[in-house]
Amino acid sequence: MIRDTSKGFGIISILFHWLGAIVTLVLFGVGFYLTSYGYYSPNALKIAHFHYALGILLFGLIAVRILWRLTSKSPASLSSSLLVRIGIAASKLLLYVLLLVILVSGYFICTSEGQSIDVFGAFQVPSVLLLEIEQLNIAGLTHKYLSWVLIGVVAIHALAALTHHFFLKDRTLVRMVKPAKSSD
């Protein structure tokens, strides 16, 4: 029930999945608000620092999740099609790569002038690299456009899960909601 089995995901993988999804969506929403309306709001700096700190926490969560994934048994695929299994693996890899590139580019944007990131008063993440204006612009564009790509991939991911549940009627979605029994 805690660890993944050959039949399904354990509670730790499920928590990583849903916590990562929620934090990612919150970060996207806050970033969208800031870039669309919020830079001129009275709380813009406070909201921006919330975005930075939450991004750092998501980076830590993703790093631990990747370690968990590399050291845990993965449930067997529900598809017998090699092409579908390759597509699933590629989409998962794409999600991880997009998240990591977005988070690293965000870190570089926030620390571009040597300032550290305060993570909710708990700790500071120092700057490791000063950026020239051209590099900062590249990081900003990378962060912005890959965030939109990520949301598109997440939407496709969610639609695929719903398609599996409602049309193909398999356990794909159920496995990410209900922990596998230890006897599985």
Q: What percent of the chain is predicted at pLDDT more than 90?
A: 83
Question: CA 170, CA 161: separation in Å to the nearest integer?
Answer: 10
Beta bridge partners of 124: 118
| pLDDT confidence band for 93 (50 / 70 / 90) | very high
Q: What b/e string do you get for 43-80 counting C-beta neighbours within 10 Å, with b at 16 or more?
A: eeeebbebbbbbbbebbebbeebeeeeeeeeebeeeee
pLDDT confidence of residue 183: 58
Task: Please state the rounded mean pLDDT for residues 79-100.
Answer: 94
Q: What would the mean pLDDT of 155-160 be, rounded to a whole number?
A: 95
Confidence grade of residue 114 (pLDDT, cut at 50, 70, 90): very high
Does the pLDDT of residue 184 top 60, yes or no?
Answer: no
| pTM: predicted TM-score of the whole model, two decimal places | 0.93
